[in-house]
Chains A and B, each alone.
Chain A
Amino acid sequence: MSRLGYLPLGDHLAVSAEPMVRAIVRIPPVRWALNLLGHVTSGRGLVIAVPYVWLALFFLIPFLIVLKISFADQLIAQPPYSSLVDFAEQGYVTLKLNVGNYLFLAEDALYWKAYLRSVQIAFFSALICLVIGYPMAYAMARAEPTWRSVLLMLVVLPFWTSFLLRVYAWIGLLNNNGVINNALMALGVIDQPIVMMRTNFAVYVGIVYSYLPFMILPLYATLEKMDLTLLEAAEDLGCRPFKAFLTITLPLSMPGVIAGFSLVFIPALGEFVIPDLLGGTETLMIGKVLWDEFFSNRAWPIASAVAIAMLSLVLVIMSFQHWLERRAAAAR
C-alpha cells in the first residue's frame, strides 16, 4: 500500500472524472490525435529517458553538490564558497578537501544539542500522535460504514488547508493575551497568563496538531481491513476484550503503526516552520539551524555540512523503519 494512497480526496474527484475521460478519448479528432501521438512517441527510449534525466539532474546531482560544498572553505565572495579542485601551475590538479566544517559541527555543542533536540522532539511528537490517533482511528474503523467516509473526510480536510495558516492559528491560541489565556483568566482559573508561546510545549502542540492526520490515516487503513471474526472467535473462546485487543488487534495493526510513526517522525525531524514560529530560543531544531546558517550567516559550507549530517540521520532512521517493516511482514 502506498503512503499517499491514504489521501482519498483526489480519488473521490477522479471517480467521476473517469467516465468523462473515457468519453473524451473516444471523440474522433481526439482519437486520431492520440493515434498520431502514439506513432510519434513509439520511440520507447524517449519515454524512459525524460523522467530519468530529470531525476538525475534535480535529485542526484544536487545531493552531490551539497556533499561537495560541505568540504569547501567559506569565502566572502559570490557564491560564498571555495572550489575544491585547483588547476595550479605546472599542470598539477590539486583536490583540497576541508573537513573543518564537520570538525566545527562536532566541536560546537550547539549543533549536537540541536541534533539531539530534533530527534527528541520528533520522537515524542510521533509518540503523542500515536497515543491520540490510535483510539481515533480505532473508533473510525468500527463506526457505521456510512459514517466512516464522513469521519475520514473530516480527518483529511485540514491537510488540504494551508499548513502555515494552521500553525499561525496556534499563535492566536497560545499567546500571553491569546484565546486560551483570556478564557482561563475570565473564568478565574488563573490570575497571570501562563507562558506557552515560544516554549517547547508550543512546538510539541504545533507538530502533533499538524501531523496527527498522517498518523490516523495509515492506522485507519489497517484497522478497517482487519477481519473482525478473529475477535469473535477470541470472545467465543472466553478471551476478555482487552486481552483480545493486545493479542490480536494490536499486532495486526503494526504495519499501520510503523507507517504512521515514520510519516510523523521523519518530516518532524527537519521541521523549520513550527520551531521558528512557535518555539523559543531553547527550541533549537536542526532544520532551523540549517536555515539560520544559510540565510542569516550566509555560511553555505556549514549549512551543507549540517544538511549532510541531517540526511545521514534520516537515512539511518529510514533503514531502521524498513528493517521493522520486514520483521513485521516476516512475523505474519
Chain B
Amino acid sequence: MSRRTSPALWAWLAAGFAFLYIPILSLVFFSFNQSKLVTVWGGFSTRWYAALMRNEQILGAAWLSVKIAAISAVLAVILGTLVAVCLTRFGPFRGRVKTEVLTGLSLLLLFVAMEQAFGWPAGRGTLTIIIAHTTFALAYVAVVVQSRLTGMDPSIEEAAMDLGARPAKVFFLITLPIIMPALVSGFLLAFTLSLDDLVISSFVSGPGSTTLPMVIYSKVRLGLSPEINALATLLVVVVAIGVIAAGLVLKQADQARQRDAKMAASK
C-alpha cells in the first residue's frame, strides 16, 4: 500500500534525525568526561554525577521546580478543563496570543499593582510563580481538552440526561472519563512547560524562590559546566524511558483494541 519513495528522501530523514539528536548525544557523551574542559575528552569518569549529587543549590532548585510544576499543572488542568467545557459551545479558544516575555512582564506588573492596591500577594516568590505558570499552561490545557470535547459524540451525554442524570453527574460519569486522555495530555504538557520555564519565572520570582531553569541559566551564562551535562543526561534518560514506556503501552492498547474489534466483527 505504501508508495515507492526515493532513497534520497530517507537519507534526508536520517540527516534530520541526526541534526535533532547529535547535540543531545554530545551532552550525554561529555557528561562522562574526566576533564573539566567539557569539549575535550580526558577519559571516562562519573565524577560530575557525584558532584551534582552534592550540589545543594541544584538539588534544592530541582525540588522547588517539581513542586511548582505539580501544583500549577493540577490547577491548570482543573481551570483549563472548565474553560474548554464552557467554550466548546462558543467556538475555538485562542489563548496563546502572547509570547513568553510578554506573559512574564504583564503578570509581574499585575502582581506589583495588586500588592500596591491591596497588599496581596505580599512580595514575589513561589506563589506568584505558581499563579503565572497556571495561567500560561491553562491555555494549552484548554486547547487540548477542547479538541477532545469537539470530537466527542454528544448523543452519549444527551442519553444520560434523558435518563434523568443531573448535568454535574453527567459530567463526572460520562464526559470526564471520555476526555480523560486529554486531561492526562494536558497535565503532562503543563508539568513540562512549568518545569522548563525560565523567562516567566525570572520575571515573577522573588528572593528565595530560584527554580531549576534559573540556576541552570545562571551557570550556563558563565560558561560550560560538566555538572550541567550530568544533569541533562539524567533528564534525557528519565524522559526517554517515559516516552518509550508510553509508546509500548499505546501499542498494547492498540493491539487489544484491534483484537476486540475483530471479535466484535466475527460475532
Binding site for B on A (CB under 8 A): 1-5, 7, 9-18, 21-22, 25, 34-35, 37-39, 41-42, 44, 47-48, 50-52, 54-55, 57-59, 61-63, 65-66, 69, 79, 132-133, 135-136, 138-140, 142-144, 149-151, 153-158, 160-166, 168-173, 175, 177-179, 182, 209, 212-213, 228, 231, 266-267, 269-273, 277, 287, 290-291, 294-295, 300, 303-304, 307, 310-311, 314-315, 318
Could you say which of B24, B39, B144, B173 contacts A25, with CB atoms under 8 Å apart?
Answer: B173
Q: Is the CB of A139 within 8 A of B26?
A: no
Contact B140 A4 (CB under 8 A): yes
Given A7-B189, A139-B5, A164-B196: A169 touches B249 (CB 8 Å cut-off)? no
Contact A156 B232 (CB under 8 A): no
What is the interface of chain B, defined by CB distance below 8 A to chain A?
Answer: 1-3, 5, 9-10, 12-13, 16-17, 19-24, 26-27, 30, 37-40, 79-80, 82-83, 85-86, 95, 97-102, 105-107, 109-110, 112-113, 116, 131-132, 135, 138, 140, 143-144, 146-147, 166-169, 171-173, 176-177, 180-189, 192, 195-196, 198-199, 202-203, 213, 216-217, 220-221, 224, 228-229, 231-232, 235-236, 239-240, 242-244, 246-247, 249-254
Q: Are B20 and A165 in touch, CB under 8 angstroms?
A: no
Total A-B contacts with CB atoms under 8 angstroms apart? 301
Distance in Å: Cβ of A60 to nearest Cβ of chain B: 10
Report the minimal beta-carbon distance from A290 to chain B, rounded to whole angstroms. Answer: 5
6 pairs of A and B residues whose beta carbons are closest in the complex:
A10-B185, A270-B99, A14-B181, A2-B147, A62-B106, A38-B168
Interface of A is mostly: helix
Taking CB atoms, residues of chain A closer than 8 Å to B13 are: 135-136, 139-140, 151
Could you say which of B132, B144, B229 has the most chain A C-beta atoms within 10 Å of its C-beta?
B144
Give the docked Cα–Cα distance between A2 and B140 (Å).
10
Closest to A176 in B: B39
Which residues of B lie under 8 Å from residue A34 when comparing CB positions? Answer: 169, 172-173
Known: A15-B253, A42-B166. A182 touches B39 (CB 8 A): yes
Tell me the interface secondary structure of chain B in the complex.
helix
